[in-house]
Structure 1
Amino acid sequence: MNSNFDRTLSNEDLLRRRASLLQRLHIDGLLLLILLVIASGSLFILYSASGKNVDMVIKQASSFGIGLVGMFVIAQFEPRFMARLVPLAYLVGVALLVAVDVMGYNAMGATRWINIPGVIRFQPSEFMKIIMPATIAWYLARHNLPPRFKHIVISLVMILVPFVLILLQPDLGTSLLVLTSGAFVVFMAGLQWRWIMGAAAALVPVAVAMWFFVLREYQKQRVLTFLNPESDPLGSGWNIIQSKAAIGSGGIWGKGWLLGTQSHLDFLPESHTDFIIAVLAEEFGLVGVCLLLLLYMLLLARCLVITVQAQTLFAKLLAGALSMTFFVYVFVNIGMVSGLLPVVGVPLPLISYGGTSLITLLAGFGILMSVHTHRKWMTQA
């Protein structure tokens, strides 16, 4: 009797019965563990980098808590359901970017935020880091792959609209990350090599055009400073010179927690945001940096495993783009802080201070968890 009943059970019911508690909650345990370890350690680094500012640490911890709740909520929705909301999310995201240009909040010479007094202040461009790859994945998944030329052109137009709007704020770093996140989807969709080579060949004239007609004076100065920081050691070259000094002074084992001089004596600007890894290197040395890189590698490896196991084209493209975009965040931040790349204002994921950035990043991991935990019951779209 029981055996006959078991044979009538669907595969979905059997898999649900065998699922662990975390799987039933649509949480990937390994991914969650790595995120908690990195975020917990980041609070200790932030406490030192902010000059022992407890309020800043509390705000960051609160943002992390909100991000975890958002990650859990997002993980409950199947990727197929998310795909239905993508077009609306893209339109709302673009509308918010336009609103920033019209009525945005200006700080430090840039208009990047929407401020509702007494309620909230947020940066809409951060949300496009997720909406952008989701939009391109949704569009390309609806057509046969590899994509035809017209589908690539339409994809590029959808990428360029938010790219230009964010660039005008101005925010070169975020605009490039949004552009990269969408481009990753197009690449993973099976872009032909002749088009890839053509795009690579076009980089030179595009870079020249951006230099003369798009980049602002301070952005040009960042590039020149990257090529020769010592040309203006007390001006535009100050940040990178002090950053490399902090990294080098840490040695192998570092000076010890709260014993860094570059940040505590205010030699290192933006020590709690873009240049926070320089604080880590000074206080915990090469060992501390390598440990963080190891955690990042484990996190990225888990994300790539989830990408490979995804069972729908939309989920695979989206998960792959989010994974590779996370890698770009880490690569660009460490590259610019160590003087290997120009300074473009990209925070270090899960470590740098910033509420909107942290919440958006955790939302992306929530999507990855949804892709992983729903894969056994998903059907090909």
Structure 2
Amino acid sequence: MPQVSNKGKLMPESPIRKLVPYAEIAKKKGHKVYHLNIGQPDIKTPDVALQAIKKADIQVLEYSHSAGFESYRTKLSAYYQTHGLPINTEDIIITTGGSEALLFAMGSTMDVDDEIIIPEPFYANYNGFSTASGVKVVPVISTLEEGFALPPIAAFEKLITPKTKAILICNPGNPTGYLYSKDEILQLAALVKKHDLFLIADEVYREFIYDATEKHHSVMTVEGIEQHAIMIDSVSKRYSMCGARIGCIVSKNKEVMATAMKFAQARLSPPTYEQIASEAALETPQSYFDEVIKEYKERRDTLIAALQNIEGVQVATPKGAFYCIAKLPIDNADTFAQWLLESYDLNGETVMVAPAAGFYSSPNVGQDEVRIAYVLKKDDLIRSVQILDNALKAYNSKK
């Protein structure tokens, strides 16, 4: 019998989606499942984007340019410049989601068995993208006790080898919600210059900053690392357009972008209707974002306050994005998360969380942690935490 590839065997399951079959079973039992496991916003997609698709007069659904519509890239450049990012049209290649942008970035900068250093916990699919690219993830651990701040630069430096090609950060972070300070970004910039590495920054949650004293600091604004910096972006969260699958890879490094273009040509082109919607979404008024940020800040504050009232739970307050990591008074979050769906309900309701071990590449780390996405309405978040509190008591009492 033919065998699947070793790469395929090593490809990790998504900690976010692997429990879906159990959630489906719970729903078939008639249970209501509160989804705290996935970053799918319930905020309405801007009407200007939806209307653009409805009004599109297309007779032949043609390929677009491999780099994406020039009109979209030009408007996207203007959008970035309005927000203080010195990005030109030629610095942008449109991709099929931020996921493809990350694959293009790895494929353009790393060979098989090269290494990429990533502060963990990190977006779980970084493990998958690295496996698909034949790249080794070298983790540097940030801790809940430190609020998931950037680990000391010395911890990065001691991990650098001749195989190290890049450092990857998510800012603000998924799954932690941590927002890197200007000083932390400058420290990383100095490090990649010193060791001639790439600094890849996943900045898809850039707009989701909740405290007036905080500001997002993009790697694209740091002078002196123009040839080192690669930015990843996406419309998924900014415009609540996860299903559009439109993102981009951005860099001033012309050799990187020429190489990424070869990957872009190999997959032909990004999708047409989704680019039409994404280009139109750039006309979304600031009032939309003001309302969204206000809503998410209230959700964050509601969730964190409720979690902090559960005995034995530890949680750091996220500064951005819409996730947090919570340490629970349990031994194994995978087992607990499955039990929540298979064997527990509170008056016909239960919750679905994402076990956090899948957001680490270090073995046996994060076993008692879960990622929670606060993408539900405040009342639903309050009810979800009530269910979680009761579930923890029931789970621990049966031991």
TM-score by length of 1: 0.30
Q: Which has the higher strand share?
A: 2
Q: Which structure has the larger Rg over C-alpha atoms?
A: 1
Q: Which has the higher helix share?
A: 1
